[in-house]
Structure 1
Amino acid sequence: MVRSGFPRLAAGLACLWALLAQPAQAQPEADVDLALVIAVDISFSMDTDEQALQREGFAQAFRSKPVHDAIRGGMLGRVAVTYMEWAGSPDQKVIVPWTILDNSESLMAFADRIAATPLRRAQRTSISSAIDFSVKLLQESGVNAARQVIDISGDGPNNQGRLVLEARDEALAKGIVINGLPIMLRQPGYLDIPDLDIYYRDCVIGGQGSFTVPVRERDQFVEAIKTKILLEVANLVPETLRIDRVQSPPRTNCMAGEMQWRDRWSN
C-alpha cells in the first residue's frame, strides 16, 4: 500500500519540477497617464545652496495638494516618475527609480526619498548625455504611458558629449517631450552664458506643448519647480505656448558651451 504511492509521488514531483523550470511570465506593463524623468544638474557650477533649493523644490512639489489633485484628475489617475542626477557625459545616476504615484502615500514616500538622498557634485555639463540617459530610462520603464516627458534642469550649456541638438532631435523623433528649467541665479561666469533661457528654448526643449520655466531669483526657485511639475502632470502649458516646431534655425549658438570649453583650454 505504501509502495503503491511512490509512482504517483514521483510523477507529481516531476510535474512540479517541470513547472518550476519554465521561464517566468513577463508582468504586463502598467498603464499610466504620464512617464516623467526628472533630470537634475549636479555639476560643480551648481553650489550646494542651489542644489538644496532644487531638492526642496522637487520634494515640495510631490507633497503639494495641487499635484496630488492633478494626478487623480488624469484619465487613469496615476503617473510613473523617476528622479536622476547628471553632470558630465559619463555621470548619470538614478536617485529614485521608477515609481507609480497614484495616492497620497506613494507621493509622500517619493518626496521623502528625494529629500533624504545626500547631495553630491560632479564635473562638466552634458545635457546631451542626460537626454540620452533619460530616453533609455523611458524605454526601460516597464509602463505604458500616454505621454513621455523629460524634465531637464540646469544652470549652464552643454560642454561635453555629443551635440545637444542631436540628442534632443532623436528624443523628439520617439515622441518624447522635453521641458526645461534653466537656472539663472548667478551673474554669468567664464563657463556660463547670459541668455540660458534662450539657449534652452532653442537647443534643449522640444515636442508638442514643450516649455521652459526660467529661475532668476532664489526666492522663485521652489515655486518655479512646483509650478513646472504641476504643469507636466496636468498636461498644461504656460501662457507662452511652446508648440512642435518645423525645425527653424536656432536664434542662439547651440555650441556655445563647447566653444567656451575649447577656448578655456586653448588659451
Structure 2
Amino acid sequence: MTDFSTLELIKDPRGFATLWLSRADKNNAFNAQMIRELIVALDELAADASLRFVLLRGRGRHFSAGADLAWMQQSAALDYQSNLDDARELAELMYNLARLKLPTLAVVQGAAFGGALGLIACCDMAIGAEEAQLCLSEVRIGLAPAVISPFVVQAMGERAARRYALTAERFSGIRARELGLLAEAYPAAELDERVEDWIVNLLQNSPQAMRASKELLREVGPGELTPALRRYCENAIARIRVSGEGQEGLRAFLEKRQPAWQAAPSSSSSTTEPRP
C-alpha cells in the first residue's frame, strides 16, 4: 500500500476502508500534492476487490477548509495553460471519486469550504454534524466553483447551487440536510457513534449487489424511460440473480439464515482502526 504524506488510507478487517484527509494542522486544506495522492488512493481502492465500501473523512476539527492558501498563491502566478493543467488534475479527482465502483460515504465535521463541497457531492452518501459550516466560497476571492459545479448541482439541485455559489453564504449541517447535500445531520458529539451505525448497516448488504446498484443507478440517471434503459434494467436483474452472491442471498432468504457476507470477518485481515 502506498505511503501518503497528506492522507491516511486505513482498511478495516470488516471489509471497508476509511480515506482520511490528514493535514489537520492546515484544516485539511488541499493542495496539488493532496489532489495527486487522492487520485492514487482512489486507484488503489478501485483495485481492491475485498472492499465493500469507502468512508471519506477529515482528521481534526474540520473536514476540509478548501484550497490551501500557499497553493492558491502559487496558482496566482501561473499562466493560463498551467492553470488549465491544475484544473484538469482536480477534475480527474472529482470524476474518479464520482465514478468509483465502491459505494462511498463522506463524513463532515467542522468546516467544508470551496472544493471540499465537491468531494462531498461526489460521494454517494454524506452525513455530518449539525454544527458543520459549509460554503461555496469561491466568489469571495474572485473565483468560481467551476470544476465541482456539476457534482454540486446533482447533489443539492440547480436552484440551491445558484444561491450558494452566488452569495457565498455559509450554511449549517442542518441546512445541508434540507438541501439533500447531507443525508443526515447529527449533533457533533454523536457523529462517530452514528458513523458506526451506518457502517454496521452497510455491512449487512451484499458487496456485489451494492456495486451493481451503484452502476445501475448511474445508468438510470434521471430515469428517462427509453427502450434502451428498459433493456439495460432487465439485463441487470437477470445478471445479478444468477451471480454467486445473488444465488446465495436468495437461498439464505428462503432458508431463513444469514447470507455468507454477514459472517464475522477474520481478525487477521488488517489492523482495526482506532477511533479519532
TM-score past 0.5 threshold = no
Scaled by the length of structure 1, the TM-score of the pair is 0.29
Between Structure 1 and Structure 2, whose CA radius of gyration is higher? 1
Relative to its length, the structure with more helix (as a share) is 2
